[in-house]
Structure 1
């Protein structure tokens, strides 16, 4: 593509429609196209980034009106430095002038801090060109390496936030990913005002260099009003300073549906009581999913649960890199709730403890057989663990499957008695025959009862009817035949079968 229209008198003359003899003699380039034709080309580039919201929309309207398009795709620091539209607008001044006339080209702002930061004047241009459109804002560091730490990162971020602040009522998504946690702008401390359209707030960092205040109260400056905030993701220290400490004087966002709290190390931060965290979270009545990752919390509180009945809390929960004692205390303080889904990723639990109930149970990266068994032993209640998924779990071994295949000696209590659907991926410490024996024993007991359901006096264990196995082990022919004849649905790598399978 030839683009010889750069800043200068000739480019400006042509932009105004004045053609010289030399212009007529030279070869025609894309920059000889009028602005409206260039916009058609740029519109096609936009449609490569933002798809049509519905295919029923007339194609002629798509790309000229923001409401016909899907939201901007998410952006992070691992992607190229110059996304659309900056990748196009930076080619030459003519293109930039043409693109600046379409406001929704500029409603995703990718702002870099660190070395070679995005100039504040450029940010102001973007804000002006976006007119009154809702903004997806990404403030990103160019490095995750401690060796490239920029001492001015915090100052740069402060200047960026001051530039964005007058447009707070247009913020839709605010995503901040920095090198140092101390550079993050904190709600109610560094971000104060009314973000009435903000639906998603994410604050992430690579290095935890923050110093937590030891005061009981957080240094709150004022309220950060987010009446429609749906998703919130931030570090444990930042969440404590911005939301837990000021609670209940400052309430949580009323429409919050998802919260992710990642990272709190009590070895160099003051103790963070689990009771305080949950008191804050359970005030969010619309919260339906919580992620707790790599949190080392204070579990010294020994008082009663903070939720009087399990019906008061039904948020699904994902535990990531969490120790068993904190997981157990979470469940105790919530009075062992019943939820639709619980997942454990790289978690430990060397001593079994009572846990809540969930219809779906997911385990990922559980290396210890003891930990995996502890999570399974804790399963109780009607319909709990009806669906189970194991991914990359070295702890799922033949002896664990044998324990699931029959009740323990001198007991008539089965592990996960309601399990009916099983998915296993990347678990390599068992054979197909181990899995068949597990399913066969449970089916034979269920068959002996007449395949009765839970609640019937003769019910002991349900038979598994759906099985999905991928990247685990070879499927022996005799096991394949049994699965095909006794399961409603089975997939083992590239083979699919079962009594309900039709070609």
Structure 2
């Protein structure tokens, strides 16, 4: 629905208002002199009121309603992005759009082959007037391959304009190719104030090294409302460890991501310092560590005075020993843990999360190493060939003389693009565990036992399979009859999102 305030010139144009100024109507009446020429171009002949109605609809369509309010959508293609796409149609459309400040509160700056010129960047910030901003400095999704020697200079020019308006920013997101192109928090953001900033994201695809900047003893960047922080490893170690530890001052921070460190030599970053900084943060609930190379600055197994409490954790592309150490330092039973492309066979700590998801694990990995004594409820596997019949046999065999089942608490099983198992053996495992669970005094019905803790083994009440092996009609009927929730699709494949953006500290682990 079109907002009346955008169409009524009598409304005051104060802060937060979307009202166009009166020059819009002067612009419209000035175009009437060339009405005859305009009739040959229907776009140019549209009345200002109709243009505003169209643009308001496009603006509303670009917004998303979330639990924390209405926000700009982040999944729109750059080629159709509002207001940049309609502003490129003709000068009249651009003039109309430029006079509604609210349209320009999402500032998108491209640093790829179709980069945004500095003059245009300045205009976007000016057209937003004094409203709060969401700034995105990015490349087109198809331009993250190859070589771009000019990316660093383009990002530097965009950053220079950004910091002049950082006091108005609600979110800042960099998504570039090289780590050397990212701004330096230590220097570019030094002595800046960002009272409205809730999300800061510095993301790159490749760590191409670069000389570390000189340390500042009294570094300061005030962002008291920051909730979500995503940093490359170099920026993290510049401002979040040792003397500076910025995390201690971010009392509202709930989500932290550290990514991309692949040094050309054997030298890595210090795992102990990273985890110590996380531990000293007052309220981090979600932790993500991606594509990091650590060094053994000291024997990890002797450092046992770190205790981290989290709600959810995402670990990607880490060495097996690193994975094991991190799991050992998380003392609380987090709700969800997601592990992607990490060796798990060398892990000497059992997972304690309520839900565990494994992504892209090879067939030679042994799921029982971290899961043998795991008592969580939800197990998810995506593109993981290590989910096979041997694992199912371990889940259904409590031993000849005792009932010490592996994964004894599992009630929900999600399988996506896993085909190296037998549906008949899966059925046997479900049936065996179900029969033993029925002996419990707590058993009533599948739907009434979801929240019970069974002393021997829990019944599996939900199975969801996407892209699985063929399932016979009889087995399908059996699963449907004996499970509270059942879904099996042999055809649909799953595409895993490359980059998670868990605003407000929330992350779905699937």
C-alpha spacing 1:246/1:171, structure 2 compared with 1 (3 Å)? farther
In structure 2, what is the Cα distance between the partners aligned to 1:263 and 1:118?
26
In structure 2, what is the Cα distance between the partners aligned to 1:53 and 1:449?
42
- State which of 345, 365, 372 in structure 1 corresponds to 2:367: 372
In structure 2, what is the Cα distance between the partners aligned to 1:27 and 1:477?
64
C-alpha spacing 1:434/1:156, structure 2 compared with 1 (3 Å)? same
C-alpha spacing 1:174/1:395, structure 2 compared with 1 (3 Å)? same
User: Which residue matches 1:71?
Assistant: 71
Matches within 5 A, 1:165-184: 165-184=163-182
**SS of corresponding position for 2:72:** coil
**1:140 corresponds to 2:153:** no
Post-superposition offset of 1:194:
0.9
**1:350 corresponds to 2:345:** yes
- State which of 35, 44, 47 in structure 2 corresponds to 1:31: 44
CA contact (8 A) 2:63 2:70 kept: yes
Post-superposition offset of 1:14:
7.5
Post-superposition offset of 1:252:
4.8
CA contact (8 A) 1:398 1:430 kept: yes
C-alpha spacing 1:13/1:269, structure 2 compared with 1 (3 Å)? farther
**1:41 corresponds to 2:68:** no
CA contact (8 A) 1:293 1:321 kept: yes
CA contact (8 A) 1:138 1:175 kept: yes
C-alpha spacing 1:13/1:35, structure 2 compared with 1 (3 Å)? closer
Q: TM-score, structure 1 length as denominator?
A: 0.81
**SS of corresponding position for 1:475:** coil
- State which of 378, 393, 414 in structure 1 corresponds to 2:384: 393
C-alpha spacing 1:90/1:266, structure 2 compared with 1 (3 Å)? closer
Q: TM-score, structure 2 length as denominator?
A: 0.80
Post-superposition offset of 1:219:
4.7
- State which of 483, 487, 491 in structure 1 corresponds to 2:487: 491
- State which of 235, 260, 263 in structure 2 corresponds to 1:263: 260
**1:468 corresponds to 2:464:** yes
Post-superposition offset of 1:42:
1.8
Post-superposition offset of 1:44:
2.3
User: Which residue matches 2:281?
Assistant: 284
**SS of corresponding position for 1:474:** coil
Post-superposition offset of 1:212:
5.1
Structure 1: which 5+ residue stretches go unaligned?
A: 1-11, 55-66, 495-503
In structure 1, what is the Cα distance between the partners aligned to 2:337 and 2:106?
34
Number of residues paired by the alignment?
Answer: 458
**1:130 corresponds to 2:128:** yes
My pick for the range that moved more, 200-209 or 109-118, is: 109-118
**Which digits, 9 at most, give the CA deviation of each residue in 1:394-452, with x for residues without a partner?**
11111110111012466642111111222222210112111011111112222344456
Structure 2: which 5+ residue stretches go unaligned?
A: 1-24, 444-448, 491-510
User: Which residue matches 2:446?
Assistant: none
The Cα RMSD (Å) is 3.4
**SS of corresponding position for 1:282:** helix
**1:328 corresponds to 2:328:** no
In structure 2, what is the Cα distance between the partners aligned to 1:200 and 1:394?
36
C-alpha spacing 1:128/1:221, structure 2 compared with 1 (3 Å)? farther
C-alpha spacing 1:24/1:369, structure 2 compared with 1 (3 Å)? closer
In structure 1, what is the Cα distance between the partners aligned to 2:469 and 2:34?
75
C-alpha spacing 1:122/1:291, structure 2 compared with 1 (3 Å)? same
CA contact (8 A) 2:247 2:278 kept: no
In structure 2, what is the Cα distance between the partners aligned to 1:232 and 1:457?
36
C-alpha spacing 1:301/1:35, structure 2 compared with 1 (3 Å)? same
CA contact (8 A) 2:442 2:454 kept: no
CA contact (8 A) 2:354 2:376 kept: yes
In structure 1, what is the Cα distance between the partners aligned to 2:301 and 2:465?
43
**SS of corresponding position for 1:484:** helix
CA contact (8 A) 1:13 1:19 kept: no
Structure showing greater Rg: 1
Query: After TM superposition, where is structure 1 displaced by more than 6 Å over at least 4 residues in a row?
Result: none
**Which digits, 9 at most, give the CA deviation of each residue in 1:195-236, with x for residues without a partner?**
1111111112233222354x9x84567312111111122222
In structure 1, what is the Cα distance between the partners aligned to 2:431 and 2:52?
65
Where relative contact order (Cα < 8 A, 6+ residues apart) is larger, the structure is 2
